[in-house]
Structure 1
């Protein structure tokens, strides 16, 4: 009896992330992964009990990819959910953006991974505008809501705004939302 071919989980998850970015979450199946890896489905089932377990382990990998992209795209390596790098991520990796931010219950699944990003932004807003945590959290969510709306419209090809216009829209919104704190 031939030995079962073992493929490292990390290799399977990397292939899953690649499929996710290129073809969308619907393409991430055991059969598609086997084809991508050039093996039967058996090695994948040796590492994962099924798609549910694989998806649970894919989520943190996708969030890390998102955070790395935002840090690389920002001028000072700071990761915020309401700046231009968030919009660029949606434009450049729309399928991954939709997986992370536009599925039913997606936020509840990735919330723990996003909390450090959100909390750093809230702390920064508290310091810059001299507001308490509750107010800074509300301001963060307002800014994110605006950026997310733009990003969602771009990721789904609803519109094709140029990045200069998007930058102006984000700046105008931030100015409007922060006006009350500037004294």
Structure 2
């Protein structure tokens, strides 16, 4: 790598680091390209050499983590040796662990510039990845509850994600490591989801009874 290429890559990484810092501190919607440039120590026009717009920065920061999560959940979903309840249990662990490992950015990964989960053809690639993750949650939940695709399963899947969001949101400001949180509180997390699933079962029984 020659000196010019090295400096170019260093500038690009500085821009990404600045965007990540500001997005996590202030939220994606409020941060401007000029603020990112100031944090990165470059001009705002320099950013456009590497990234078309703020959306491209979001995509660059989110793609690899979301792709890794997507691949991991696909493998879990396709595992023929696991029961439906064990798949859900492992899904919970993987999603909570992912969010704790990325606690400064997980809300950006899932929510910034997001589309509705029931939108059939989201325009942005990042929203297609997000929908894929959500559809895995929905598919595993539907199998466990013996609930077909439709408004009922969509509602349950949203509630399930709300639970996940609430659990992780409780620990975003802690300095405690993800390993420590998982070791200390995994039984509580599982109990929370077990209670939610019991509520779903009861609701479905009441409707069908």
* TM-score, structure 1 normalization: 0.62
**8 A contact 1:86–1:151 mirrored in 2:** no
Structure 2 unaligned spans of 5+: 78-86, 117-123, 175-180
Quick one: which of 87, 104, 113 aligns to 2:96?
87
- CA distance in structure 1 between the partners assigned to 2:39 and 2:104 by the alignment: 16
SS in 2 for 1:155: coil
The residue that corresponds to 2:67 in the other structure is: 64
- CA distance in structure 2 between the partners assigned to 1:101 and 1:86 by the alignment: 12
Q: Aligned-pair RMSD on alpha carbons?
A: 4.4
Q: CA offset at residue 116 of structure 1?
A: 1.8
Instruction: Answer yes or no: is 1:111 the counterpart of 2:127.
Output: yes
The residue that corresponds to 1:16 in the other structure is: 16
Q: Deviations for 1:74-127, whole angstroms, at most 9, x for unmatched residues?
A: 9x63497x7122222222221121322465x54557532222222233333333
Q: CA offset at residue 149 of structure 1?
A: 1.2
Structure 1 unaligned spans of 5+: 35-39
The residue that corresponds to 2:178 in the other structure is: none
SS in 2 for 1:24: helix
**8 A contact 1:126–1:132 mirrored in 2:** yes
The residue that corresponds to 1:151 in the other structure is: 168
* TM-score, structure 2 normalization: 0.56
Q: Deviations for 1:128-173, whole angstroms, at most 9, x for unmatched residues?
A: 333221122222112111121111222244xx77232222112222
Number of equivalences: 167
SS in 1 for 2:187: helix
